[in-house]
Chains A and B, each alone.
Chain A
Amino acid sequence: MSNPYQPIPATIIETHDETPNIRTFKLKPEREIPFLAGQFVELTVPGHGEAPFTPSSSHFKRDTFDMTIMKVGRATSALFDLEAGDRVGARGPFGQRYPLEKFEGKDIYIVGGGVGLAPLRALFLALVHEIDKYRRIFLRYGARTPDDIVYKHLLPEWQKIPKVDIDLSVDVSDERWMKKVGVVTCLMDDIPCDEKSSIAVVCGPPIMMKFVNQKLLDAGFQGSNIYLSMETNMSCGVGQCRHCRLGPYLTCKDGPVLTWDQIKDIENPFV
C-alpha cells in the first residue's frame, strides 16, 4: 500500500527572483507528479518541515514544475537558503482541480493579489494552451508596489496572446509606474464581461479575497461561478489530520478552491 506521508525527492534545477521576497523554484521530481491546475503539492524542506504550495506552471508539461513562493516563516525561509542542485521532497498532487469543462465557451475573469498570482498562473497557462475552448480571458492583478509584481518578464508576453486582456494596479506607485494606483478592486469598476454567465477566479490575501468577492457579487456574478482559493493551515494534505477544516469542508480534500456558494454560510470564511 502506498504511503501518503512519504515525499519523493525533487531537485531544484533553477530559481528566479520575482520580487525581494518571492522566488520561483523550478523542480524536477524523481517521478512525475500528475497535478492539474488548482491542485497542490506538499513540499518538504529537509529538516525544516513541510508546507503546501500550488504548482504555478502548466499541467501540460510536468517533467518539471514551478512553484512561486513567498518567504513568510520557518519552512519558506529555509527553502530560500537552498540553491539549484539542492534536493527537496514533494508529495501530491492533492485537492481538487479547477473544473475547466465548466469554463468552456465562457469569459474567465481572473483576479490575483500579490503571490496569489502563482496558483492562477497554472490556471492561466492551462487556459491559453487550449484557448479556442474559452471565450476571453481577463486577468486583473494587484501588488503592493511595482517591485512586488511577480512574473514581470512574462506579463508583457501574456498580453500579446489573442483573447487575453490584462490590467495591473499597485497600492503604492513610483515614478516609473504608468498604470492604475489603488487596491486591485480599482480595476473592477467596469467588468467587461457578462456577469451572469462568466467565471471569476480569485486568489490573494484573505482581505483582498473578501473585497474582490463582494465586488463580483455586487457586479452580478453568480456565487456558483466565483472560484476562491482558500488558504487554511494544513498538515497531512490528504483529508485525515483535520487541520484544514473550514466549516463543513476539508480544504485539502474538497478545496483548496471552493466556490462562493459553497462557503457563503461559513462565519467569516476569509480570515
Chain B
Amino acid sequence: MGEYVLPKSNISQWLSKLLAKYAVYVPIEVEKQVHWHLLEPRDLEKEPDAITPAQRRIRASEPVKSFMFQPRRQVASFPEPFTPEVSKPRVLLGIKSCDIAALKVHDKILGEGEFKDPFYLAQRKNTLLVVADCPEPEQSCFCNLLGLTPYAMEAGDAVLSVVDGNWVLGVTESGKGLVDLASELFTELREGSSELARRDEQRHTALVTLNMTNTKPWNPDLAGAVAAKLSDTAFWNKHAETCVECFGCLMGCPTCYCFLLYDQARDAGVDRTRAWDACYEAAYARVGGGANPRAEFVKRFANRFSCKFSAFKTDHGMYACTGCGRCLKSCMGKIDIRKVLGEL
C-alpha cells in the first residue's frame, strides 16, 4: 500500500479534482451528529479544512448500505423488463471500519449466492471506499467486541487518517487513481516517518478508549449461546420490555438486509420496488390465510438476535453485527444490545 500525506492546504484542491470525476460523499456534522453529504464545489470555497473535523468523528448516522442497497428502489417492471440508469462513479470518503465490515454482509447475501442482485453489484462496483480512522470512539461504539478495530482492517480502496490537520492517505491498487489524479498535491511517506508514527499512536489510543468503554468480553461462543437461549421467553421478555416497536434499530443497522418486493400498478404495467423491511414487523412472517410463526413480539425480538449472532455466523462465518452502536443510540426504550449479549 502506498502512503502519502496531503497537507491541509491542499485538501480542497484535491477534492475539487475528485469532483470533476466522481460524485464525492463526505461526512459532515449537523447538530453534533455526523451525516453523509454530497460534496459540492461551493463547499470548497469555505475554510479549506472545514470538512476535516467530521472525518475524526465516528460513523455517520446513515448506514453505508444506503448507497448500494437503497432503502427503496425499483428493481423490475412488467410486462417490459426494467433497465436501470447508470450512475456516475462515486467516492465515499470517510466510511468507518465498522461500516466496511457491514458491507461484507451484503456482499455475501446480494453478491455471492446463486442469485445475485445486479443493482447492488453495479453500485458496489461503481463506488470507491476510503476508510477513515476513528481517533475518538464514542460511548456507543463496540467494534472491538466484534473483533474489529477503530481503523481500517480491510483497506477498501484507500485509508485516511487525520494527523495534525493533514490527511494521511494509504492507497491500495484499486485506489491508486485517487492519488494519481493529482499526485503533485501529495508527498509520499516513507516507513518510520513521523506522520505514520503519529497515526499509529492515535490508533492505539482509540483502541485503549474502546477497551475501557467495553470491558466485559462476551461468551466466546455467542452463536451457541444465542441458539441455546432461543426458547427462554422470560430472558427475551426482560430485555424487550421497553421496546415500542419503532424499528429504528433495524432501519439504521448497517448489516440488516431484509427486504420486501412490492408492486405498484402504473399505466399499462407494473413497477416492482425493493424496500428495506423489518423482522420486528408483525406481518413479516405471516403466511397466506393468516397463520404466523412469530405472532408474539418476543419471538420476533429473539429472532433478531438469533439471525445476527447465530444463523449468520453458522452460515457465513461472521456475525451480522459490527458494533457500530446505531441501534442503541436510536432506541427510545434505551435497549443496549451489549447488555443483552453480555448476559448470554
| A positions within 8 Å CB-CB of B | 1-7, 9, 44, 46-51, 72-73, 76, 87, 89, 206, 231-233, 235-236, 238-243, 245-246, 248, 253, 267-268, 271
Contact = CB atoms under 8 A, between A and B. Distances in A.
Interface residues of B, number: 47
Contact of A235 (B113, B259, B289, B314): B259
B76 A9 contact: no
Interface of B: 75-79, 81-82, 109-110, 113-118, 121, 230-231, 257-265, 269-270, 272, 274, 277, 279, 284-289, 291-293, 303, 307, 311, 314-315
Nearest to A242: B258
Given A4-B117, A243-B277, 17 more contacts: A1-B118, A5-B274, A44-B263, A44-B270, A47-B264, A72-B288, A89-B270, A233-B286, A238-B113, A238-B114, A239-B109, A240-B109, A241-B258, A241-B277, A242-B258, A242-B279, A253-B113
Contacts of B260: 235, 241, 243
A242 to B, nearest CB: 5
Contact of A76 (B114, B257, B274, B288): B288
A44 B262 CA distance: 10
Contacts of A50: 261, 263
A76 B288 CA distance: 9
Contact of A240 (B76, B110, B288): B110
Given A5-B261, A267-B231, A73 B113 contact: no
The winner among B109, B110, B277, B293 for most chain A CB atoms within 10 A is B293
A52 to B, nearest CB: 9
Contacts of B257: 240, 242
B263 A49 contact: yes
Contacts of B77: 6
B116 A233 contact: no
Given A4-B115, A49-B263, A239-B113, A73 B78 contact: no
A194 to B, nearest CB: 34
B78 A9 contact: yes
B285 A6 contact: no
Nearest to A234: B287
A3 B261 contact: no
Contacts of B231: 267
The winner among A2, A46, A72, A239 for most chain B CB atoms within 10 A is A46
11 contacts: A6-B75, A7-B78, A47-B270, A49-B262, A72-B288, A232-B285, A235-B261, A239-B113, A241-B261, A243-B284, A253-B113
Nearest to A207: B291
Contacts of B272: 5-6
Contacts of A1: 116, 118, 121
A2 B119 CA distance: 10
B79 A89 contact: yes
Contacts of B288: 51, 72-73, 76, 231
A46 B76 contact: no
A6 B307 contact: no
Given A241-B261, A271-B293, A233 B287 contact: yes
The winner among B75, B81, B115, B272 for most chain A CB atoms within 10 A is B115
B285 A89 contact: no
The winner among A206, A231, A233, A268 for most chain B CB atoms within 10 A is A233
Contacts of A233: 284-287
